[in-house]
């Protein structure tokens, strides 16, 4: 079974676990629901450059999700996010692997042969995408395999007294850590930009 077939089989089995049964009657209103989309003004659709950075769904804060959502729902959301990330990396890994093979063939035949530096860069990118794809695949399989209660964690554990305080502190620390990671992703150059002025100031101080 190929990687794509294995992943598709995994998604089907996971979906069967977490998705409620769907009645054929639910599809009767689908054409009516799609009509407004067909008549939508193209000017009202956000530009792709802006839309690409928007979350797929407006998220609740971490503490709100932990408190108000069942652990089973959190698992389903994690699987959905991982599956989407996996699909994107599957495309990236496949394309870079094809480019790697093409570059090798061209180098061997002498037709449009790339420089050693370019070949090394292509090889490195292909390996990186494949490694990331494997990591996401493993994470998806592991999350799909865990068992989860069908109630929010506080209800399932029936937290009381000091346990509630401990849970609140742990959730708060996780929320702070998540915010830190989000800021790092949003501003990846901040650390470098802070170091550059210091490097420029050192010669002046010596003078």
How far out from the chain centre does Cα 184 lie? Answer: 16
Structure tokens, 4 = 């794509």
10 Å Cβ neighbour count for 96? 19
If we measure between CA atoms, which residue out of 145, 137, 176, 167 comes closest to residue 75?
Answer: 145
What is d(CA 133, CA 121) in angstroms, rounded to the nearest whole number? 18
In the chain, where the domains are located: 1-18+61-177
What pTM did the predictor assign? 0.62
- The DSSP code sequence of 15-71 is HHHHSPP--GGGGTTHHHHHHHHHT--GGGSPPHHHHTTS-SS-PPPHHHHHHHS-H
pLDDT of residue 121: 93
pLDDT of residue 145: 93
- Decide if 79 contacts 144 (C-beta within 8 A): yes
Digitized pLDDT (tens) for each residue of the chain, 207 residues in all: 554 555 455 554 544 444 444 444 543 444 444 454 445 444 444 445 566 766 666 578 888 888 889 999 999 999 999 999 999 999 999 999 999 999 888 888 887 778 888 899 999 999 999 999 999 999 999 999 999 989 998 889 898 889 989 999 999 999 999 889 888 887 876 444 545 445 445 555 444
């Amino acid at each position: 079974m190929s990687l794509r077939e294995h992943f598709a089989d995994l998604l089907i089995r996971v979906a069967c676990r977490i998705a409620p049964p769907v009645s054929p009657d639910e599809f009767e209103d689908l054409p009516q629901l799609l009509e407004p989309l067909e008549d939508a003004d193209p000017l009202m659709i956000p530009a792709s450059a802006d839309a690409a950075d928007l979350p797929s769904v407006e998220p609740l804060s971490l503490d709100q999700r932990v408190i108000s959502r069942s652990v089973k729902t959190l698992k389903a959301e994690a699987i959905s996010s991982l599956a989407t990330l996996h699909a994107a990396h599957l495309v990236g890994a496949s394309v870079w692997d094809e480019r790697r093979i093409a570059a090798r063939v061209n180098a061997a035949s002498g037709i449009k042969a790339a420089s050693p530096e370019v070949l090394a860069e292509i090889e490195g990118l292909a390996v990186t995408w494949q490694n990331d794809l494997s990591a996401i695949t493993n994470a998806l399989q592991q999350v799909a395999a865990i068992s989860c209660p069908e109630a929010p964690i506080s209800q399932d554990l029936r937290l009381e007294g000091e346990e509630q305080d401990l849970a609140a502190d742990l959730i708060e620390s996780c929320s702070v850590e998540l915010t830190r990671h989000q800021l790092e992703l949003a501003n990846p150059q901040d650390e470098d930009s802070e170091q550059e002025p210091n490097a420029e100031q050192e010669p002046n101080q010596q003078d």
